[in-house]
Amino acid sequence: MLQEDGLWKALRTVMFLVLAVTTAGCYSLRTAPLSNIPQKRNVVMLHADDSLWAVSNYTVSDGILTGLINQDSLKISKLRVTHLYAAPASAVMIDGTKLSVPAANIAKTDYLVFDPWLTLAGLTAIAFDAFYFILLVF
């Protein structure tokens, strides 16, 4: 009975740490100015109040971001998308499939980047938990 209680405690510890590591993920969110969006980002998700537009072929010139609104459903990885947050929504001008918004109205620019240190820490925690669990079982 005593060994079974120790096994359950170890299992709870392992499951808690695995849950903590997996929810942390291997990516971190980076906030940057509009001019520093990485070139490999080919889609911008523009958020304004409750509205959301997927914009491709975008350019920033004369302080205005312009691009084409995608009508099709996109299948793009998280690492290829940049999220822009504009306020107020009335600053976003839509003409057919063309969208434009002044850069001054874009309050925030976020994109995900792979974080090797976070990944290494997560893998180390999982390995430590597995080793600890094996020691308690045997």
**Domain ranges (residues) in the chain:** 1-26+115-138, 28-114
pLDDT digits (tens, 9 = 90+) for 110-133: 877 777 777 787 778 778 877 777
Q: How far apart are CA 8 and CA 30, in angstroms?
A: 39
Total Cβ atoms within 10 A of residue 104: 11
Confidence (pTM): 0.61
Are 53 and 45 in contact by the 8 Å Cβ rule? The answer is yes
pLDDT, the chain, mean: 76
Between 41 and 65, name the one with better pLDDT. Answer: 65
The predicted structure's pLDDT at residue 100? 92
- Structure tokens of 106? 């874009």
Mean pLDDT of 78-107: 85
Q: How far apart are CA 33 and CA 111, in angstroms?
A: 11
Asked if pLDDT for residue 73 goes beyond 70, the answer is no
Mean pLDDT of 47-60: 85
pLDDT digits (tens, 9 = 90+) for 32-46: 677 767 666 678 888
